[in-house]
Amino acid sequence: MRYTTTAIFLSLLFLGCGPEPVAEQPTAPTTEDTLVVAEPDPIPLPEGFLRTDGVYRSSMGKLVYFIRFFPEGRAMLIGGLTDSPQDLREALEPSTPTGGTSIVHKVPVTVRGDSIFFVTPAMRGDIDYAGMRHGTDSVTFRKYSHVTGNQVIASYRFELYDLPTAQPQ
């Protein structure tokens, strides 16, 4: 009953959540033969907002998802099968290639109050994450898929994990 009430509360809470509309940004610089898209500079996470010395984990059936946050205001994400022979967390280091067909995402995050927002780009459509932290060891996200129109509420719990230190970007 307690979890049902919490899920209903979070669903109602996140219905109106999402990144605020952003004013049009100037076009990215271009060169003669290549279009260069400039990613916005991340804004550092507030001191002590979330832990950056490990990963946040969520499990749904046979699937597991990991998020690693970095002090400079980025997150890296990966998901896979719980019985994967490789430790997926090892991929959440700054030198891991992202983009294209990679299953690892590296994205800037936005913090407002106790909420955190980011978008992971996918080949067929983006996934919006709107999260609320519960202390520094737990975050609940509403994940909305622009591909399917589905949304899910996922709770992530912190796990201490020895990962390489982030290099400033």
CATH number for the domain including 87? 2.40.128.30
pLDDT of residue 22: 40
Does some domain include residue 70?
yes
How many helical (H) and strand (E) elements, i.e. helices and strands, does the chain have?
1, 9
pLDDT of residue 168: 47
pLDDT of residue 100: 74
Does some domain include residue 36?
no
Per the structure, the count of domains in the chain is: 1
Does some domain include residue 60?
yes
CB–CB of 69/109 below 8 Å?
Answer: yes
pLDDT of residue 9: 38
C-alpha atoms less than 13 angstroms from C-alpha of 34 in its C-beta half-sphere: 3
Pairing of strands 151-160, 63-70: unpaired
Higher per-residue confidence, 148 vs 21: 148
Give residue-wise pLDDT tens across range 17-72.
444 434 344 444 544 454 545 566 889 999 999 999 999 999 999 999 999 999 99
Smallest CA-to-CA distance from 154 within 49, 81, 67 is with 67
CB–CB of 129/120 below 8 Å?
Answer: yes
